[in-house]
Amino acid sequence: QVQVSESGGGLVQPGGSLRLSCAASGRGFSINDVAWYRQAPGKQRELVARIYGGGQTDYLESVKGRFTISRDIRRLTSDLQMNSLKPEDTADYYCATFFRGRWYWGQGTQVTVSS
């Protein structure tokens, strides 16, 4: 079975930082194209950042300059470094990776930015 799992969420004050991690596992699995999404209460899911197989990255406009996505192909992991966090960043964050024609999703990790 393929499993994807996020970790690193928690409570942080505005202006603080968090590093989210996504780990994948599974026989013959690889991680190349990976995306981080988030969903705040009462809002639709939105793409936060994505790193493509070739290494290109895309970011949600509101997180540009604050968030950085990375991946470690050997470890089957992806990190989302989040700096200068704002209350509006509060959401459940999800990792998804595209492999052999489908997206594999993690269970999510909660991020709360509050004083």
pLDDT tens, position by position, 43-76 = 999 999 999 999 999 999 999 999 999 999 999 9
Longest dimension (CA), the chain: 44
Q: Which residues contact 88 (CB under 8 A, 6 or more apart)?
A: 40, 62, 113
Contact 61, 102 (CB under 8 A): no
Chain centroid to CA 60: 12
Q: What is the pLDDT of residues 1-30, one digit of tens each?
A: 889 999 999 999 999 999 999 999 988 888
Instruction: Give 23's strand partners.
Output: 5, 77
